[in-house]
Amino acid sequence: MAGVSGAIAAPAGPKREARSSTGQVPFFGMHQAGITTAAQDRLAFAAFDVRCTRRNELVHLLQRWSAAAALLTSGLPVGPSSDTDTVPADTGETLGLGPARLTITVGFGPSLFDGRFGLAARRPAALAPLPAFPGDDLDPQRSGGDICVQACADDPQVAFHAVRDLARIAGARARMRWLQFGFGRTSSTSDAQTTPRNLMGFKDGTDNITAQQFEHLDRYVWVGESDDQAWMGGGTYAVARRIVMNLAKWDDDELGDQQAVFGRTKASGAPLSGARESDPPDLAAVGADGKPLIPMDAHIRLAAPSTNGGQRILRRGYSFTDGLDPASRAIEAGLFFVAFQRDPRHQFVPIQRRLAHADALNEYIRHTSSALFAVPPGLRGPGDWFGRDLFS
Ligand code: HEM
């Protein structure tokens, strides 16, 4: 495969991601794609446990994945498939489908820095394992992981193919630990996108950081060059939580109760203190009865920047279903929450702590998995590879 060896000083890519009419999202750039990229329709999110023991084997894997990701995001197969005497390099199910705005985003979990690969001293302070939160019901088999691969695309087969073929390339060097598919984005990450709805029927992603909010991105999403580990400059941290919804219970709830849970109107998405979706929530507004229009335990009150020391996160989650729960025969479905931020210790953790203690939504949801990854900066050009500065 061309251009996968060692460090090559390629010029820095564009700082701001361009949109293309060919369905191709640029793979190279200052930041990895799949973060501020206008959220695609589908997700395949995989976490891997690294099984090889030598550092150079891991480096080789990351180089192979980088070269393959450059091809896949261009709509190309990972290798030739036409020689009848050899096993096809690419599994083939996306031939003819085009790039479908595929992005491949790679991150490193805290466990990768445990000393196996000589990386312990390079672990950023912000990559501290997430604390336990009240109500957590986490399945360890679906949590954690040494490396994550987030594949997002407008075509489910393209997203599936990306993680499938990257897992194939990894072979025995890294085994998939867990895999989550998602559909129906639950956020907007571009001002050009309309707000989608989550499986509870509410508009989700109204007050989110978007690709056009450069100041917010620099302040709340991208790691600065002067943060403790220089190799993370231009990177970010991803938190993933699989949150199961008790849909049967939710569906039996009155509309007024549902709206009080979020603090927003179901049809329009407007805050209960306003008339339009774009109206900023007025947390101080009270009704004729003297009670707050947005209840004290409403989700948007507890998650709002103003109740969290001004902190914001970039949400980029997806709805999911894993079919029927075999025990209860209820639909196992919910939100696969993904959020990007500059330092989870000051962003996701305090927000989730507040939500876990008091959110009215807790009656209807259960966090069943949890993972945290350091997402290094983007690749500068052909020959660059995921995490090169971490290993250099
Ligand atoms: C199943 C779980 C969840 C559901 C269904 C949900 C749904 C929603 C909805 C409908 C909104 C209002 C519209 C919007 O501004 O996007 C919202 C806002 C928000 N949510 Fe969630 N959410 C969930 C979990 C979480 C978690 C775990 C966090 C972070 C720890 C979080 C953080 C936020 C934030 C920061 C806002 C924006 C608040 C504001 O600025 O007004 N949410 N969520």
pLDDT tens track for 338-360: 999 999 999 999 999 999 999 99
Average pLDDT for 237-250: 98
* pLDDT at res. 22: 67
Ligand 1 atom 42: residue of nearest CA: 303
Ligand 1 atom 20: residue of nearest CA: 303
* Ligand 1 close to Cβ of residue 155 (< 6 A): no
* Cα 287 to ligand 1 centre (Å): 24
- CA-to-CA dists, residue 339 to 2, 137, 300, angstroms: 33, 19, 16
DSSP state for residue 392 in the 8-state scheme: -
Q: Which of 137, 272, 282, 337 to mutate to test the pocket of ligand 1 (most atoms within 8 A of CB)?
A: 337
Q: Which of 202, 204, 293 to mutate to test the pocket of ligand 1 (most atoms within 8 A of CB)?
A: 204
Handedness of CA 6, 9, 14, 18 (dihedral sign): negative
* pLDDT at res. 373: 99
Encoded amino acid at 151, one letter? A
Q: CA-to-CA distance for 164 and 161, rounded, in angstroms?
A: 5
H helix or E strand, kind and range, residue 204:
none
Q: 139 in helix, strand or coil? A: coil
* Ligand 1 close to Cβ of residue 304 (< 6 A): yes
Place of tokens 């997402």: 375
* pLDDT at res. 60: 98
* pLDDT at res. 3: 33
* Ligand 1 close to Cβ of residue 204 (< 6 A): yes
* pLDDT tens figures, 11-20: 344 444 444 4
Angle ∠(250,238,105) on CA atoms, nearest 5 = 110
Q: 55 in helix, strand or coil? A: helix
Bridge-partner residues for 202, per DSSP?
none
**22 contacts 99 by C-beta, under 8 angstroms:** yes
For residue 2, pLDDT over 50 is answered with: no
Ligand 1 atom 31: residue of nearest CA: 303
Handedness of CA 315, 138, 332, 365 (dihedral sign): negative
* Ligand 1 close to Cβ of residue 305 (< 6 A): yes
* Cα 390 to ligand 1 centre (Å): 33
Bridge-partner residues for 241, per DSSP?
337, 370
Residue 245 in tokens: 């919804």
* pLDDT at res. 4: 33
Average pLDDT for 134-150: 98
Helices (H), the chain: 55-72, 156-170, 214-216, 247-251, 255-262, 299-303, 348-358, 388-391
For residue 124, pLDDT over 80 is answered with: yes
Q: CA-to-CA distance for 376 and 106, rounded, in angstroms?
A: 8
**231 contacts 376 by C-beta, under 8 angstroms:** yes
* pLDDT at res. 6: 33
Bridge-partner residues for 182, per DSSP?
43
Q: Which of 300, 302, 314 to mutate to test the pocket of ligand 1 (most atoms within 8 A of CB)?
A: 300
* pLDDT at res. 13: 40
For residue 197, pLDDT over 60 is answered with: yes
* pLDDT tens figures, 105-118: 999 999 999 999 99
In sequence order, which residues have a C-beta less than 8 Å from that of residue 259 and are 6 or more positions away? Answer: 265, 266, 272
Residue 80 in tokens: 């030739």
Angle ∠(152,37,73) on CA atoms, nearest 5 = 50
* Cα 299 to ligand 1 centre (Å): 7
pTM for the predicted model, two decimal places: 0.94
* Cα 310 to ligand 1 centre (Å): 15
Q: Which of 308, 315, 362 to mutate to test the pocket of ligand 1 (most atoms within 8 A of CB)?
A: 315
* Ligand 1 close to Cβ of residue 338 (< 6 A): no
Place of tokens 């690749």: 379
* pLDDT tens figures, 252-301: 999 999 999 999 999 999 999 999 999 999 999 999 999 999 999 999 99
For residue 96, pLDDT over 80 is answered with: yes
* Ligand 1 close to Cβ of residue 177 (< 6 A): no
